[in-house]
Amino acid sequence: MEKKVEVSMLCDLYGKLLTEKQFEFINDYYNNDLGLSEIAENNNITRQAVRDIIKKGERKLFEYEEKLLFMKKMLTQEQKIQEALSELTKIEKDTTDKQIVSILNSIKKELSYLV
């Protein structure tokens, strides 16, 4: 997975555990697509200070994920749901019983809300 996407997802999961500045800078850098210079200028600090705060925040995010594994569990769950949806679609195509098709559609609809 691309680092930018990974950090953004980790920030969504664990961002509230960071300091206010770490969260703000990481969010600006990864989600709002601001550069280090722009963040530095907006906060009246050096570009290097912004970089240091972001790097420290990133390390914290990866430490939280290493210990808690929420993102890994979430991605695994999404993959299993996608596989289940795929299997349900196969069954739906092969069956002619309207009641079974209706039940399968209902299950697919509920599973789709989870991904």
Give the pLDDT confidence of 18-76 residue by residue, as tens digits: 999 999 999 999 999 999 999 999 999 999 999 999 999 999 999 999 999 999 999 99
Per-residue model confidence (pLDDT) at position 25 = 98
Question: Is it the case that residue 115 has pLDDT exceeding 80?
Answer: no
Q: Give the structural domain span for 9.
A: 3-68
Model pTM greater than 0.85? Answer: no
Q: Is 88 exposed, middle or buried (0-12, 13-18, 19+ CB in 10 A)?
A: middle
Distance CA 74, CA 7 (A): 15
Query: Which of the four pLDDT bands, split at 50, 70 and 90, describes residue 94?
Result: confident
81 and 54 in a single domain? The answer is no
32 and 60 in a single domain? The answer is yes
Query: Which of the four pLDDT bands, split at 50, 70 and 90, describes residue 105?
Result: confident
Per-residue model confidence (pLDDT) at position 110 = 87
17 and 63 in a single domain? The answer is yes
60 and 16 in a single domain? The answer is yes
Q: Span 86-115, mean pLDDT?
A: 85
Per-residue model confidence (pLDDT) at position 13 = 95
Degrees to nearest 5, angle at CA 56 with 15 and 72: 50
Number of structural domains in the chain: 2
Which of residues 108 and 65 earns the better pLDDT score? Answer: 65
